[in-house]
Amino acid sequence: MGAGAGLRDDVRVHRAAKLHAVGDLRLAEVADPGPPPPGWSTVAVTSVGLCGSDLHWYAEGGTGEVTIGDPVVPGHEFAGVALDGPHAGRRVAVDPAIPCGACEQCRSGHGNLCPEVRFAGHAGLDGGLQERLVWPDELLFPLPDELTDDAGALLEPLGVAVHAVKVAHVRDGDDVLVVGAGPIGVLACAVARRAGAARVFVSEPLAHRRATAQRFGADAAWSPEEAERELLAATSGRGVDVVVEMAGVDAALTTAVACARPGARIAVGGIPSTPLSAFPAAPARRKGLTFAMVRRMHGTYPRAIELATTGVDLDDLVSDRFPLERADEAFRHAVGRSGDKTVIRVAGA
């Protein structure tokens, strides 16, 4: 592959997959980042997981109110090898969110709510689908030897699941419903179980994902058409104590409200395709339900690493792997939802 347009012959380059528009992902050569600034390290990316939000960007041009502007390198679930800095030579997982550190939310310990946060693969900050990038040292987490690079990449969705279960206040003995068994929903099943849930149920339209959810700790998994009837039968008409919604569609919120007991808690983590969502407000009010919105994660990598090394098998969630030169094929495959987690192997060292 020749040097990208506009690059001098003496500029060192690396490969990157850049999203230009809906369905328009191009592999090209881009300039290396150069020496990292103080407090940052160069990372050779090895593995990138494709998130549902990545697929929204690829297939629909954005998520919610955020849409594609200038071309951007996607990928916010990734791991690599630190080439310099305090972790030089070590494999690392990368926290994709860079908060400003100075606003009220950051100062109060809620960097995930920072209004100025910079996020890999969004708004001009190129993400992990490239061979090399620079990243803040404090957002790099050394991987234990027992975790693969793919597992390192999947610590990010596991961290989101950890945060969602925390926001939902899952307690010992709770019955929990997870609506949507994409990778984060599946991981929420495992995390809820580790948080003390007595039973974990799942509503999911795809049979193979219902089966995956049961491998990761769900007691039962039903189609959305069956979920309300079967869940109320399983709980003697009571409903569940907690719902973790991870589907991002209005029908999922309807299921959440129908299956929640009076006074239950609903954590809404699914990312919708449009800015507005609707739910059955009247029954939610009569039940006195509490809704909490899940905004990515915060400070969850240590807990995610602990879970991944003590029984939550992240490699078992990976159904498909593609090399970087087949990144567009990987996206097209993942959009079809025929598997669980699709991973792109970059191996840019």
Task: List the CATH code of the domain at 158-293.
Answer: 3.40.50.720
pLDDT at 8 exceeding the cut of 50: no
| Angle between helical axes of 327-335 and 52-60 (0-180°, round to 10) | 100
What does the pLDDT read at residue 64? 67
**d(Cα 62, Cα 68) in Å, to the nearest integer?**
6
Cα–Cα distance measured from residue 96 to residue 76, given in angstroms and rounded to the nearest whole number = 5
Q: What is the pTM of this model?
A: 0.93
50, 344 Cβ separation under 8 angstroms: yes
d(CA 69, CA 77): 21
Of the listed ranges 52-66, 173-187, 205-219, 309-323, the one predicted with least confidence:
52-66
pLDDT at 291 over 50: yes
Return the pLDDT at 99: 95
Burial of 9 (0-12, 13-18, 19+ CB in 10 A): exposed
Give the DSSP per-residue string, 94-126: E--EE--SSSHHHHTT-GGG-TT-EETTBTTB-
- Return the half-sphere exposure (C-beta side, CA atoms, 13 A cut-off) of residue 113: 11
Write out the DSSP string of 271-298.
--SSS-----HHHHHHHT-EEEE--S-S
Rg (CA), the chain: 20
Phi, psi of 305 (to 5 degrees): -65, -40
Mean pLDDT for the chain? 93
Secondary structure (DSSP) of 224-264? HHHHHHHHHHHTTT--EEEEEE-S-SHHHHHHHHHHEEEEE
Mean pLDDT computed over 222-247: 98
Q: What is the pLDDT of residue 339?
A: 93
> For residue 2, is pLDDT > 60?
no
Q: Is 50 exceeded by the pLDDT of residue 284?
A: yes
Q: Domain residues of the chain, as ranges?
A: 13-157+298-345, 158-293
- Over residues 138-151, the pLDDT tens digits come to 999 999 999 999 99
The pLDDT confidence band at residue 9, using thresholds 50, 70 and 90, is low
CATH class of 13-157+298-345: alpha beta
Looking at residue 53, what is its pLDDT? 87
pLDDT exceeds cutoff 60 at 122? yes
> What pLDDT is attached to residue 93?
98
Asked whether residue 106 carries a pLDDT value surpassing 70, the answer given is yes
Q: Which of 33-47, 57-71, 231-245 has the lowest mean pLDDT?
A: 57-71
Least confident of 34-48, 66-80, 219-233, 291-305: 66-80
Q: Predicted confidence band at 271 (pLDDT cuts at 50, 70, 90)?
A: confident
Average pLDDT over residues 80-85: 97
